Amino acid sequence: MEKRNSLHLAKRMASLEPSATLAMAAKAASMAASGIDVIDLSVGEPDFPTPAHICQAAEAAIRSGKTKYTPAAGIPDLRKAVAADYSRRSGLTVTPAQVVVSNGAKHSLHNAFMALLDDGDEVIVPAPYWVSYAELIKLCGGRPMLIETSIDDDFKLRPEALRAALGPRTRMLLLCSPSNPTGVVYTPDELRALADIAIEADLAVIADEIYDQLVYDGRQSPSFPTLRPGLAERTVVVAGVSKTYSMTGWRIGWTICPEPLSKAIGNLQSQQTSNPCSVSQHAAVAALTGPQDCVGEMLAAFQNRRDLVVGCLSKMPGLRLPEIGGAFYAFFDIKDALRRGQSRGIGTSSQWCEALLEKEHVALVAGSAFGAEGHVRMSFAASEQKLKDGLARIERFLTS
């Protein structure tokens, strides 16, 4: 009898894909470590330092001994601060008991999927989508139903497409606005049309609003459960401090949802990880309750960078991009470039990105990782000089 390896992988691992953004960032970092001048525009991470008053709050927490276990769902002060901040900005009153603080918004998403999905439940995910959505859903026993959208519609899910995707096992709708990877922002009316179908079909909704304060040109980015009566009872809002306050490494995200579900998520987290980092929680309190000038300053810088990137990419031959209304990504169509590159063995977005990195030392992420072959994602969370240099290299690569 053949002996089986006692450390054989579980079946769930067979289909698990690594994060394409982190993989590209790791490759770019490796090249840079060897002395190559790499411009890494792959990862969605603000390049600004965490604001000083937030860091000072963390230092004060350490000095005062706030380095022990906390309640699994987060310290009361932070849950209160999240509830107050969300209530003020959205107009929908929520209580601290509806908030669970987790180890980043990715953990918050996993908690929500784990708490709500049974094996085989289907989740409608508009594509392009953030790379981790589909993998997290599969890990929790669900089935991601990827619904293709078009650049002609600014990659927005249309009501007729949502209705056509509904089936007997459809359990949930996942929306991200402002969007990663496309940077598009749904209008209130566009969201209301989707909300009406979600209510009619009795769907749970995950509203990923991690970029909700990074919107440009005076746009509105309303919180999904505020759009129709009854939405708050079926929606889980996911957010955090990572993007708004340049706190990616602090790992603080949260869910806001009806109290019975919030309690269940807290119980789940108590068995998974216990509490998020105690020091990071105190820093997040300072972020939410302290001076907000830093948010406006970073937003203004991101808008200037958006304008720079859109202006340059729009002039490059054969590229198409949607209207970027928020977040800090440009997601552009390179199908014309791929047609021209097939004779040189560059026929996919992955091959195009690999060739760009190899020849011009610019790191972008292939659109195939986001469910949209023929496109690439560029982060403009980098200095204007890096963006100018990177864009010049991209243009040189396109015309070479």
- Per-residue pLDDT of 163-200, as tens digits, reads 999 999 999 999 999 999 999 999 999 999 999 999 99
What the chain holds in terms of domains, given with CATH numbers, is 11-49+294-399 (3.90.1150.10), 55-289 (3.40.640.10)
Q: Across the chain, how many H-helices and E-strands are there?
A: 13, 12
Instruction: Give the per-residue pLDDT at 86.
Output: 98
| Percent of all residues in the chain with a pLDDT value above 90, rounded to a whole number | 88
Instruction: Give the per-residue pLDDT at 337.
Output: 93
Instruction: Give the per-residue pLDDT at 230.
Output: 95
Alpha helices in the chain (DSSP H): 20-33, 52-63, 76-90, 105-116, 131-139, 159-165, 188-200, 259-272, 278-289, 293-315, 335-341, 349-360, 384-399
Q: Residue 103 is encoded by which pair of tokens?
A: 């180890």
- Residue 375 banded pLDDT, cuts 50, 70, 90: very high
Distance of CA 86 to the CA centre of its chain: 18
Instruction: Give the per-residue pLDDT at 300.
Output: 98
What mean pLDDT do residues 136-164 have?
97
Q: Residue 299 is encoded by which pair of tokens?
A: 């937003």
Interatomic CA distance for residues 230 and 225, integer angstroms: 8
- Residue 250 banded pLDDT, cuts 50, 70, 90: very high
Instruction: Give the per-residue pLDDT at 12.
Output: 83
- Per-residue pLDDT of 207-230, as tens digits, reads 999 999 999 999 989 999 999 999
Interatomic CA distance for residues 137 and 15, integer angstroms: 12
Residue 394, classed as helix, strand or coil, is helix
Spell out the residues 6+ positions from residue 97 whose beta carbon is closer than 8 angstroms to its own. Answer: 79, 259, 262, 263
Measured CA distances, 24 to 29, 349, 378 (Å): 9, 13, 12
Interatomic CA distance for residues 237 and 132, integer angstroms: 17
Instruction: Give the per-residue pLDDT at 4.
Output: 65
Considering only CA atoms, which of 86, 101, 28 is closest in space to residue 270?
101
Phi-psi map region of 362: left, alpha, beta (phi>0 left; psi -120 to 50 alpha) = beta
pLDDT above 80 (res 129): yes
Interatomic CA distance for residues 331 and 346, integer angstroms: 19
| Percent of all residues in the chain with a pLDDT value above 70, rounded to a whole number | 99
Instruction: Give the per-residue pLDDT at 3.
Output: 61
Cis? peptide before 178, omega within 30° of 0: yes
Interatomic CA distance for residues 155 and 370, integer angstroms: 12
Q: Residue 157 is encoded by which pair of tokens?
A: 């899910």
pLDDT above 80 (res 20): no
Residue 212 near residue 239 (C-beta atoms within 8 A) = yes
Q: Residue 244 is encoded by which pair of tokens?
A: 């708004």
What mean pLDDT do residues 102-107 have?
98
Other beta carbons less than 10 A from residue 313's beta carbon: 18
Helix axes 384-399, 349-360, angle to 10 degrees: 110
